[in-house]
Amino acid sequence: MYGDKRYLLGRRDGGSDGLLFLGRYLALDGSSGSPVFLDVLKPHAILICGKRGYGKSYTMGTIIEEFARLPAGIRNNFSVIVVDTMGIFTCMGSPNLAEKKYLESEGLSPEGLNIKIFAPGIHTGRYDDVDALTFKIPSSSLSPYDYCELLGVDPLSPHGAVLAGAICSRNKFSIEDLIAEINSSDATDDVRSSLNGLLTMISAWDIFSADADYSQIMEPGSVNIIDLSGYGHEPGIKSCIVASLSRALYDIRVEARRKENTGYRRTPLVWMFIDEAHMFMDTGAGNVLINEWLRQGRQPGLSLVLATQRPSALGRDVLSQADMIICHRLTLRDDIEALEKARPSYVKEPVNEALSRLGAIRGAAVIVDDTTESYHVVKVRPRVSLHGGGEPIVRNVD
Protein backbone atom coordinates (compact mmCIF):
# COMPACT_ATOMS: atom_id res chain seq x y z
CA MET A 1 0.00 0.00 0.00
CA TYR A 2 2.84 2.41 0.71
CA GLY A 3 5.36 1.49 -2.01
CA ASP A 4 9.12 1.10 -1.56
CA LYS A 5 10.38 4.55 -0.69
CA ARG A 6 9.37 6.05 2.64
CA TYR A 7 10.44 8.78 5.04
CA LEU A 8 10.83 7.97 8.70
CA LEU A 9 10.80 10.89 11.12
CA GLY A 10 11.99 10.75 14.72
CA ARG A 11 14.18 7.67 14.18
CA ARG A 12 17.61 7.24 12.63
CA ASP A 13 17.83 3.48 12.21
CA GLY A 14 15.11 1.88 10.09
CA GLY A 15 12.75 -0.90 11.10
CA SER A 16 9.06 -1.41 10.55
CA ASP A 17 7.74 -1.63 14.12
CA GLY A 18 6.23 1.28 15.99
CA LEU A 19 5.51 3.49 12.98
CA LEU A 20 2.63 5.93 12.59
CA PHE A 21 1.56 6.76 9.03
CA LEU A 22 1.32 10.56 9.01
CA GLY A 23 0.82 11.38 5.33
CA ARG A 24 2.74 11.89 2.12
CA TYR A 25 5.44 14.07 0.75
CA LEU A 26 3.93 17.09 -0.95
CA ALA A 27 5.54 18.11 -4.22
CA LEU A 28 5.66 21.71 -5.47
CA ASP A 29 2.96 20.94 -8.05
CA GLY A 30 0.66 19.75 -5.23
CA SER A 31 0.97 16.05 -6.09
CA SER A 32 1.67 13.63 -3.28
CA GLY A 33 4.69 11.36 -3.11
CA SER A 34 6.28 8.87 -0.74
CA PRO A 35 4.67 8.05 2.60
CA VAL A 36 5.92 9.71 5.77
CA PHE A 37 5.98 7.88 9.10
CA LEU A 38 6.62 8.91 12.72
CA ASP A 39 8.57 6.83 15.20
CA VAL A 40 6.98 5.84 18.51
CA LEU A 41 9.63 3.47 19.80
CA LYS A 42 11.30 6.38 21.61
CA PRO A 43 9.69 9.25 23.54
CA HIS A 44 9.16 12.46 21.59
CA ALA A 45 8.16 16.06 22.19
CA ILE A 46 6.16 17.32 19.21
CA LEU A 47 4.79 20.79 18.59
CA ILE A 48 2.00 21.22 16.04
CA CYS A 49 1.33 24.81 15.09
CA GLY A 50 -0.52 26.78 12.46
CA LYS A 51 -3.09 29.40 11.74
CA ARG A 52 -6.72 28.76 12.61
CA GLY A 53 -8.39 26.23 10.34
CA TYR A 54 -5.33 24.79 8.55
CA GLY A 55 -5.17 21.40 10.24
CA LYS A 56 -3.61 21.42 13.73
CA SER A 57 -6.28 19.45 15.49
CA TYR A 58 -6.90 17.31 12.40
CA THR A 59 -3.21 16.36 12.40
CA MET A 60 -3.29 15.70 16.13
CA GLY A 61 -6.27 13.43 15.53
CA THR A 62 -4.42 11.60 12.75
CA ILE A 63 -1.54 10.81 15.13
CA ILE A 64 -4.00 9.67 17.83
CA GLU A 65 -5.75 7.44 15.26
CA GLU A 66 -2.48 5.82 14.33
CA PHE A 67 -1.90 4.87 17.99
CA ALA A 68 -5.35 3.29 18.14
CA ARG A 69 -4.52 1.33 14.96
CA LEU A 70 -1.13 -0.01 16.09
CA PRO A 71 -0.88 -3.79 16.51
CA ALA A 72 -1.72 -4.73 20.13
CA GLY A 73 1.84 -5.87 20.87
CA ILE A 74 3.16 -2.34 20.33
CA ARG A 75 0.02 -0.45 21.33
CA ASN A 76 -0.08 -2.03 24.77
CA ASN A 77 3.19 -0.28 25.62
CA PHE A 78 1.31 3.00 25.67
CA SER A 79 -1.48 4.90 27.26
CA VAL A 80 -2.64 7.79 25.08
CA ILE A 81 -4.17 10.70 26.97
CA VAL A 82 -5.83 13.55 25.11
CA VAL A 83 -6.63 16.79 26.93
CA ASP A 84 -9.54 17.92 24.78
CA THR A 85 -10.23 21.56 25.60
CA MET A 86 -12.83 22.06 22.84
CA GLY A 87 -14.53 18.64 22.82
CA ILE A 88 -13.44 17.95 19.24
CA PHE A 89 -11.86 14.52 19.74
CA THR A 90 -14.89 12.96 21.37
CA CYS A 91 -16.37 11.87 18.04
CA MET A 92 -13.38 9.69 17.07
CA GLY A 93 -15.49 6.63 17.90
CA SER A 94 -17.43 7.29 14.64
CA PRO A 95 -16.17 6.63 11.09
CA ASN A 96 -15.34 9.46 8.69
CA LEU A 97 -17.81 8.44 5.99
CA ALA A 98 -17.60 11.79 4.16
CA GLU A 99 -14.01 11.11 3.07
CA LYS A 100 -14.58 7.50 1.93
CA LYS A 101 -13.20 8.04 -1.58
CA TYR A 102 -10.17 10.05 -0.41
CA LEU A 103 -9.47 7.37 2.21
CA GLU A 104 -9.75 4.59 -0.36
CA SER A 105 -7.14 6.34 -2.50
CA GLU A 106 -4.79 5.83 0.48
CA GLY A 107 -5.82 2.18 0.97
CA LEU A 108 -7.75 3.19 4.10
CA SER A 109 -11.41 3.00 4.99
CA PRO A 110 -13.64 4.93 7.40
CA GLU A 111 -13.33 3.49 10.88
CA GLY A 112 -14.64 4.42 14.34
CA LEU A 113 -11.94 3.94 16.95
CA ASN A 114 -11.95 2.22 20.28
CA ILE A 115 -11.64 5.22 22.60
CA LYS A 116 -12.67 6.00 26.15
CA ILE A 117 -14.23 9.38 26.85
CA PHE A 118 -13.90 10.96 30.26
CA ALA A 119 -15.69 14.10 31.43
CA PRO A 120 -16.28 15.81 34.76
CA GLY A 121 -19.33 14.36 36.58
CA ILE A 122 -21.59 17.32 35.78
CA HIS A 123 -20.85 16.97 32.05
CA THR A 124 -21.09 13.21 31.48
CA GLY A 125 -24.69 13.47 30.28
CA ARG A 126 -23.75 15.61 27.24
CA TYR A 127 -23.10 12.74 24.81
CA ASP A 128 -25.82 11.26 22.62
CA ASP A 129 -24.36 7.90 21.77
CA VAL A 130 -21.46 7.23 24.16
CA ASP A 131 -21.30 6.58 27.87
CA ALA A 132 -18.66 8.98 29.12
CA LEU A 133 -16.76 7.93 32.22
CA THR A 134 -16.48 10.29 35.16
CA PHE A 135 -13.20 12.11 35.44
CA LYS A 136 -11.99 13.44 38.79
CA ILE A 137 -8.67 14.72 40.01
CA PRO A 138 -7.32 14.01 43.51
CA SER A 139 -7.87 17.22 45.53
CA SER A 140 -4.50 16.70 47.20
CA SER A 141 -2.67 16.63 43.83
CA LEU A 142 -2.71 20.44 43.68
CA SER A 143 -0.29 22.58 45.66
CA PRO A 144 -1.33 25.59 47.78
CA TYR A 145 -0.04 27.76 44.91
CA ASP A 146 -2.32 25.96 42.44
CA TYR A 147 -5.31 26.55 44.72
CA CYS A 148 -4.37 30.22 45.15
CA GLU A 149 -4.10 30.59 41.34
CA LEU A 150 -7.45 28.85 40.87
CA LEU A 151 -9.24 30.94 43.49
CA GLY A 152 -7.54 34.23 42.59
CA VAL A 153 -6.04 34.49 46.07
CA ASP A 154 -2.64 36.08 46.78
CA PRO A 155 -0.52 33.30 48.38
CA LEU A 156 1.09 35.89 50.69
CA SER A 157 -2.22 37.36 51.90
CA PRO A 158 -4.02 36.20 55.09
CA HIS A 159 -6.44 34.26 52.85
CA GLY A 160 -3.54 32.52 51.13
CA ALA A 161 -1.89 31.65 54.45
CA VAL A 162 -5.09 30.14 55.92
CA LEU A 163 -5.73 28.18 52.73
CA ALA A 164 -2.15 26.87 52.62
CA GLY A 165 -2.37 25.90 56.31
CA ALA A 166 -5.55 23.90 55.68
CA ILE A 167 -4.08 22.16 52.59
CA CYS A 168 -0.84 21.25 54.33
CA SER A 169 -2.58 19.87 57.43
CA ARG A 170 -3.61 16.65 55.62
CA ASN A 171 -2.21 14.29 53.00
CA LYS A 172 -5.57 13.45 51.50
CA PHE A 173 -8.64 15.68 51.60
CA SER A 174 -11.85 16.64 49.87
CA ILE A 175 -12.85 20.25 49.23
CA GLU A 176 -15.45 19.78 52.01
CA ASP A 177 -12.61 18.76 54.39
CA LEU A 178 -10.81 22.00 53.51
CA ILE A 179 -13.93 24.04 54.21
CA ALA A 180 -14.37 22.30 57.60
CA GLU A 181 -10.71 22.85 58.45
CA ILE A 182 -10.92 26.56 57.61
CA ASN A 183 -14.19 26.97 59.54
CA SER A 184 -12.62 25.55 62.66
CA SER A 185 -9.45 27.66 62.31
CA ASP A 186 -8.83 30.89 64.18
CA ALA A 187 -8.91 32.95 60.93
CA THR A 188 -11.01 36.12 60.94
CA ASP A 189 -14.68 35.90 59.91
CA ASP A 190 -13.88 37.80 56.73
CA VAL A 191 -11.15 35.34 55.66
CA ARG A 192 -13.28 32.33 56.64
CA SER A 193 -16.36 33.45 54.77
CA SER A 194 -14.58 34.44 51.56
CA LEU A 195 -12.59 31.17 51.43
CA ASN A 196 -15.79 29.31 52.20
CA GLY A 197 -17.52 30.92 49.24
CA LEU A 198 -14.65 30.28 46.84
CA LEU A 199 -14.22 26.65 47.90
CA THR A 200 -17.96 26.03 47.68
CA MET A 201 -17.81 27.38 44.11
CA ILE A 202 -15.04 24.98 43.04
CA SER A 203 -16.71 22.08 44.81
CA ALA A 204 -19.70 22.66 42.49
CA TRP A 205 -17.43 22.03 39.49
CA ASP A 206 -17.59 18.36 40.48
CA ILE A 207 -13.99 17.61 39.53
CA PHE A 208 -12.22 17.17 42.88
CA SER A 209 -12.26 14.02 44.95
CA ALA A 210 -10.27 12.88 47.97
CA ASP A 211 -10.01 9.34 46.57
CA ALA A 212 -9.48 9.89 42.82
CA ASP A 213 -6.47 8.38 41.08
CA TYR A 214 -5.42 8.02 37.45
CA SER A 215 -5.47 4.23 37.17
CA GLN A 216 -8.42 4.25 34.71
CA ILE A 217 -6.51 6.25 32.10
CA MET A 218 -3.34 4.23 32.54
CA GLU A 219 -4.62 0.99 31.05
CA PRO A 220 -2.15 -0.43 28.51
CA GLY A 221 -3.20 0.25 24.91
CA SER A 222 -5.98 2.68 25.87
CA VAL A 223 -6.84 5.94 24.09
CA ASN A 224 -8.40 8.28 26.64
CA ILE A 225 -10.10 11.51 25.63
CA ILE A 226 -10.58 13.87 28.57
CA ASP A 227 -13.26 16.33 27.50
CA LEU A 228 -12.86 19.62 29.36
CA SER A 229 -14.97 21.65 26.93
CA GLY A 230 -17.75 21.95 29.53
CA TYR A 231 -15.48 24.30 31.48
CA GLY A 232 -15.46 26.77 28.58
CA HIS A 233 -15.50 29.88 30.75
CA GLU A 234 -13.18 28.63 33.50
CA PRO A 235 -9.65 28.42 32.06
CA GLY A 236 -8.27 28.25 35.62
CA ILE A 237 -9.80 24.85 36.28
CA LYS A 238 -8.54 23.49 32.94
CA SER A 239 -4.97 24.44 33.83
CA CYS A 240 -5.33 22.95 37.32
CA ILE A 241 -6.50 19.69 35.74
CA VAL A 242 -3.51 19.70 33.37
CA ALA A 243 -1.17 20.50 36.28
CA SER A 244 -2.56 17.66 38.40
CA LEU A 245 -2.57 15.18 35.53
CA SER A 246 0.89 15.97 34.24
CA ARG A 247 2.45 15.98 37.72
CA ALA A 248 0.80 12.68 38.69
CA LEU A 249 1.71 10.95 35.41
CA TYR A 250 5.29 12.13 35.74
CA ASP A 251 5.51 10.66 39.27
CA ILE A 252 3.84 7.42 38.17
CA ARG A 253 6.29 6.96 35.29
CA VAL A 254 9.39 7.90 37.32
CA GLU A 255 8.42 5.29 39.91
CA ALA A 256 7.61 2.71 37.21
CA ARG A 257 10.88 3.34 35.37
CA ARG A 258 12.86 2.46 38.47
CA LYS A 259 11.14 -0.94 38.63
CA GLU A 260 11.42 -1.49 34.87
CA ASN A 261 15.20 -1.40 35.15
CA THR A 262 15.02 -4.77 36.86
CA GLY A 263 11.85 -6.26 35.44
CA TYR A 264 8.78 -6.25 33.23
CA ARG A 265 6.84 -3.09 32.19
CA ARG A 266 3.51 -2.95 34.01
CA THR A 267 2.81 0.76 33.72
CA PRO A 268 2.45 1.98 30.15
CA LEU A 269 4.55 4.74 28.62
CA VAL A 270 2.47 7.87 28.22
CA TRP A 271 1.74 9.99 25.14
CA MET A 272 -0.16 13.08 26.21
CA PHE A 273 -1.81 15.35 23.61
CA ILE A 274 -2.83 18.91 24.50
CA ASP A 275 -4.69 21.11 22.02
CA GLU A 276 -4.71 24.91 22.51
CA ALA A 277 -1.50 24.50 24.53
CA HIS A 278 -0.83 28.26 24.75
CA MET A 279 -3.64 28.40 27.34
CA PHE A 280 -1.49 26.56 29.84
CA MET A 281 2.01 27.89 29.44
CA ASP A 282 1.83 30.81 31.89
CA THR A 283 0.25 28.72 34.63
CA GLY A 284 1.38 26.07 37.11
CA ALA A 285 0.55 23.49 34.41
CA GLY A 286 3.07 25.13 32.06
CA ASN A 287 5.81 24.76 34.68
CA VAL A 288 5.21 21.03 34.96
CA LEU A 289 5.00 20.56 31.20
CA ILE A 290 8.20 22.48 30.52
CA ASN A 291 10.35 21.43 33.47
CA GLU A 292 9.23 17.84 33.89
CA TRP A 293 7.80 16.64 30.60
CA LEU A 294 9.85 18.53 28.02
CA ARG A 295 13.16 18.71 29.89
CA GLN A 296 13.13 15.41 31.75
CA GLY A 297 10.42 13.33 30.09
CA ARG A 298 12.60 11.06 27.97
CA GLN A 299 13.98 8.97 30.79
CA PRO A 300 10.59 8.12 32.39
CA GLY A 301 9.08 7.55 28.90
CA LEU A 302 6.78 10.59 28.64
CA SER A 303 5.92 11.98 25.23
CA LEU A 304 4.11 15.24 24.74
CA VAL A 305 2.27 16.55 21.67
CA LEU A 306 1.25 20.20 21.95
CA ALA A 307 -0.86 22.09 19.41
CA THR A 308 -1.27 25.84 19.21
CA GLN A 309 -2.29 28.65 16.88
CA ARG A 310 0.29 30.88 18.52
CA PRO A 311 3.78 29.37 18.73
CA SER A 312 5.07 32.79 19.85
CA ALA A 313 2.97 32.45 23.03
CA LEU A 314 4.59 29.17 24.07
CA GLY A 315 7.98 30.63 24.90
CA ARG A 316 11.46 29.71 23.74
CA ASP A 317 11.76 26.69 26.01
CA VAL A 318 8.95 24.84 24.28
CA LEU A 319 10.26 25.64 20.80
CA SER A 320 13.78 24.58 21.67
CA GLN A 321 12.82 21.42 23.60
CA ALA A 322 10.49 20.02 20.92
CA ASP A 323 12.29 17.39 18.89
CA MET A 324 9.79 17.73 16.07
CA ILE A 325 7.80 20.73 14.86
CA ILE A 326 4.87 20.22 12.51
CA CYS A 327 4.01 23.63 11.16
CA HIS A 328 0.88 24.25 9.10
CA ARG A 329 0.20 27.59 7.40
CA LEU A 330 1.18 30.58 9.55
CA THR A 331 0.84 34.24 8.62
CA LEU A 332 1.36 36.29 11.81
CA ARG A 333 4.78 37.88 11.85
CA ASP A 334 5.32 37.26 15.60
CA ASP A 335 4.73 33.54 15.16
CA ILE A 336 6.97 33.24 12.11
CA GLU A 337 9.70 35.19 13.91
CA ALA A 338 9.44 32.97 16.99
CA LEU A 339 10.00 29.91 14.80
CA GLU A 340 12.75 31.68 12.86
CA LYS A 341 14.62 32.34 16.13
CA ALA A 342 14.39 28.66 17.02
CA ARG A 343 15.38 27.50 13.49
CA PRO A 344 18.06 24.80 13.73
CA SER A 345 21.19 25.24 11.61
CA TYR A 346 20.32 22.24 9.38
CA VAL A 347 17.20 24.08 8.13
CA LYS A 348 18.82 26.13 5.39
CA GLU A 349 15.72 28.00 4.25
CA PRO A 350 14.26 30.86 6.31
CA VAL A 351 10.97 29.79 7.92
CA ASN A 352 8.79 32.16 5.88
CA GLU A 353 10.20 30.73 2.63
CA ALA A 354 9.68 27.14 3.75
CA LEU A 355 6.10 27.98 4.79
CA SER A 356 5.38 29.69 1.48
CA ARG A 357 5.64 26.26 -0.15
CA LEU A 358 2.48 25.20 1.66
CA GLY A 359 0.21 27.72 -0.04
CA ALA A 360 -3.27 27.51 1.43
CA ILE A 361 -3.57 23.73 1.33
CA ARG A 362 -5.28 22.50 4.48
CA GLY A 363 -3.36 19.68 6.09
CA ALA A 364 -0.06 20.64 4.43
CA ALA A 365 2.82 21.21 6.85
CA VAL A 366 6.55 21.79 7.07
CA ILE A 367 8.00 19.24 9.48
CA VAL A 368 11.33 19.91 11.17
CA ASP A 369 12.77 16.73 12.66
CA ASP A 370 15.68 17.07 15.06
CA THR A 371 16.41 13.35 15.19
CA THR A 372 17.18 13.08 11.49
CA GLU A 373 18.21 16.75 11.25
CA SER A 374 15.99 17.25 8.26
CA TYR A 375 12.85 19.07 7.20
CA HIS A 376 10.07 18.04 4.89
CA VAL A 377 6.89 19.30 3.27
CA VAL A 378 4.08 16.86 3.96
CA LYS A 379 0.34 16.56 3.40
CA VAL A 380 -1.20 14.86 6.40
CA ARG A 381 -3.34 11.85 5.51
CA PRO A 382 -7.16 11.95 5.66
CA ARG A 383 -8.81 10.93 8.90
CA VAL A 384 -10.46 7.51 9.19
CA SER A 385 -12.50 8.67 12.18
CA LEU A 386 -14.78 11.66 12.43
CA HIS A 387 -13.09 15.04 12.99
CA GLY A 388 -15.03 17.35 15.27
CA GLY A 389 -13.09 20.52 14.51
CA GLY A 390 -14.61 21.70 11.22
CA GLU A 391 -16.55 24.96 10.97
CA PRO A 392 -20.34 24.68 11.03
CA ILE A 393 -21.73 25.25 7.53
CA VAL A 394 -24.54 27.74 6.96
CA ARG A 395 -27.45 26.15 5.06
CA ASN A 396 -30.45 27.81 3.56
CA VAL A 397 -33.26 26.67 5.86
CA ASP A 398 -36.15 28.11 3.80
Ligand X SMILES: Nc1ncnc2c1ncn2[C@@H]1O[C@H](COP(=O)(O)OP(=O)(O)OP(=O)(O)O)[C@@H](O)[C@H]1O
Binding residues vs ligand X (CB under 6 A)? 50, 52-58, 309, 362-363, 380, 382, 387, 389-390
Q: 306 — phi, psi (to 5°)?
A: -110, 140
Closest among 248, 249, 250, 242 to 281, alpha carbons compared: 242
Smallest distance from ligand X to CB 7, Å: 16
Smallest distance from ligand X to CB 363, Å: 2
Residue in the shown chain whose Cβ atom is closest to ligand X: 363
Smallest distance from ligand X to CB 24, Å: 10
Smallest distance from ligand X to CB 52, Å: 4
Q: Give 65 or 369: the residue with its C-beta nearer to ligand X.
A: 65
Smallest distance from ligand X to CB 55, Å: 3
Q: Give 217 or 364: the residue with its C-beta nearer to ligand X.
A: 364
Q: Give 46 or 182: the residue with its C-beta nearer to ligand X.
A: 46
Closest among 334, 273, 264, 352 to 307, alpha carbons compared: 273
Distance, in Å, from the CA atom of 207 to the CA atom of 12, rounded to the nearest integer, reads 43
Smallest distance from ligand X to CB 380, Å: 4
Q: Give 64 or 199: the residue with its C-beta nearer to ligand X.
A: 64
Distance, in Å, from the CA atom of 253 to the CA atom of 322, rounded to the nearest integer, reads 20
Looking only at the bridges linking them, the beta strands covering 302-308 and 45-49 are parallel
Q: Give 144 or 389: the residue with its C-beta nearer to ligand X.
A: 389
Evaluate whether 138 touches 171 at the Cβ level (below 8 Å): no
76 Cβ neighbours under 8 A, 6+ residues apart: 220, 221, 268
Q: Give 44 or 387: the residue with its C-beta nearer to ligand X.
A: 387
Q: How far is CA 216 from the centre of its chain?
A: 17
Closest among 120, 152, 392 to 232, alpha carbons compared: 120
